[in-house]
Amino acid sequence: MSLLAAGALVLAGGVGAALRSDPAPTGSFLTDDAGRALVLRGFNTASSAKSTPDGMPKFTEEQLAREHADMGTNFVRFLISWRSVEPEPGVFDQAYLDRVEERVGWYSERGYQVMLDMHQDLWSGAITPDGKTGNGAPAWATYMDGLPVGSHEMWEQYYLDPGVIRAFDNFWNTTGEHPELADHYAQAWRAVAQRFSGNPAVVAYDLMNEPYGGTLQGPVFEAGPLTALYQKTADAIRTVDQDSWVCVAPQAMGVNWGTPSGLGPIDDARDGDQRIAYCPHIYPLPMDLGGGYEGTSRDLVDATVDAWRGHTLRTAAALGDVPIILGEFGLDTTLPGALDFVERIYATATEMGAGVSYWSRDPGSWGPYEEDGAARNLVPALDRPYPRAVAGAPIGWRGEPERLELTYRPDASISAPTEIYLPARTFPNGAQVSGGEVASWDAGARILTLRAPQTPDETTVTLTPAR
């Protein structure tokens, strides 16, 4: 069992958890330019970007400032789209990338890390005449070959329509008719990476949102055309960007619900340690079907989370002990037991050493704010102390409203300090620290930094509210 697992198990669940037979957490993290291990907590921003003419989310800098003040997030999975990057074959829209870069600047000014998510659902807006069902791919890359697409109450049903399956089969070249589309996709990502290479706020690229294999499903898809596309795209990115992490996601069908992924390893062409991350989603079916997190539904959801955890750790290990970002999870937080479910997912991600981007930042019953801007129940639930950046190797940590415990092995070669976020609602006067020394306390940004320990030995610091 890895040190991370031992530490996490002790912190997260006591002796009982130590008997867990699941694979050990990988113990690897994305790092910032200073080399600190990053604990990433934030939102998907935002679903509204799927349909706007300019490709931008309906989201203002003031709304980001509010999110930062209310919850101390440090991460965003920012939705971009192939249709906006490459509106015509081989034509890359620099004005669109300007708009993306402006918003990346909002996050950068507040110390955020940004993961750019090439987002698709149901392939493209071109699958239906009104352009409102799917999103992501441009119309010129959407070949349905005249096959029909129906009209459905549940959006997921469109994935079973012949026209939609054919659009995916042509992209993956399962038909043998369109080998050029994957090359275009990789070059579109190269154009994005060329723009953001060296941008200190852009830490990662999430290559494709919730991939779907059309006729091909499961390992034959994931280990076949999906892994091949990721390799092609990673290679294209590395011709212009040697440092950003490349995040690869499994197919959504099944894996979102707790079944194993057959994704194959990606060879990272960069000089030095590989920077590949694994970015699955989790949406337990009983929650999606409206069951809530109570009674029998809760038992089924817990079984899903346990299965998902084990499969995720095994895939991350198979990809080369890569770091994990939970790219999406979310729910209608008016469901019974919703906040207990949110707590369960964050505790599981913490134990795994995974980053988290909640789905999503859009207003309404799934998000942190109402349409009128009023804060919802999610805000206090997500406003928790956490170690944003660790100057060394995190072994394990546990955050409760009025207590943070972090065990890590300091790395004296890292000049930047360990940073900890402390919520105003539970740490109004800052923190009492045991096991470490306070270097600074920024009451405005709610960030406390620790002085580097004198020895490289594993150390545990505990923070409780200052009186």
Ligand X SMILES: CN(C)c1ccc(C(=O)NC[C@H]2N[C@H](CO)[C@@H](O)[C@@H]2O)cc1
Q: Does 156 bind ligand X (CB under 6 A)?
A: yes
- What distance in Å separates the CA atoms of residue 25 and residue 70, rounded to the nearest whole number? 30
Question: Smaller CB distance to ligand X: residue 8 or 282?
Answer: 282
Provide the minimum distance between the beta carbon of 206 and ligand X in the complex, in angstroms, as a whole number: 10
Among 86, 121, 351, 383, binds ligand X (CB under 6 A): 121
- Of the pair 121, 405, the CB lying nearest ligand X is at 121
CB 462 within 8 A of CB 405: yes
Contact between 253 and ligand X (CB under 6 A)?
Answer: yes
Beta carbon of residue 12, minimum distance to ligand X (angstroms, whole number): 26
* Binding residue (CB under 6 A) for ligand X from 209, 261, 274, 449: 209
Sheet holding 459-465, edge to edge: 392-400, 403-410, 459-465, 431-434
**Minimum gap (Å) between residue 457 Cβ and ligand X:** 43
Identity of the residue, 261 or 274, whose beta carbon is nearer to ligand X in the bound complex? 261
Is 135 a binding residue for ligand X by CB under 6 A? The answer is: no
Strands ordered across the beta sheet of 438-442: 37-38, 386-390, 418-421, 447-450, 438-442
Q: Count other Cβ atoms within 10 Å, centred on residue 413.
A: 8
Nearer to ligand X, 201 or 249 (CB): 249
**Using rule CB under 6 A, residue 252 touches ligand X:** yes
78 is an interface residue for ligand X by CB under 6 A: no
Q: Check binding of 283 to ligand X (CB under 6 A).
A: yes
Identify which range of 250-258, 295-303, 428-436, 440-448 contacts ligand X by CB under 6 A.
Answer: 250-258
The least distance separating ligand X from the CB of residue 16, rounded to whole angstroms, comes to: 32
Q: Which of 86, 206, 241, 328 binds ligand X (CB under 6 A)?
A: 328
> What are the backbone dihedrals phi and psi of residue 275, each rounded to the nearest 5 degrees, phi first?
-125, 65
Tell me which residues in 80-99 interact with ligand X (CB under 6 A): none
C-beta of residue 255 within 8 angstroms of C-beta of residue 262: no
Shortest Å, Cβ 119 to ligand X = 6
Does residue number 171 form part of the binding site for ligand X (CB under 6 A)?
no
- Indicate whether 73 belongs to the interface with ligand X (CB under 6 A): no
In 10 A of CB 450, how many CB atoms? Answer: 25
Minimum CB distance to ligand X smaller for 102 or for 156: 156
Question: Binding of ligand X at residue 212 (CB under 6 A)?
Answer: yes
- Contact residues: ligand X, CB under 6 A: 121, 156, 159, 209-210, 212, 252-253, 256, 283, 328
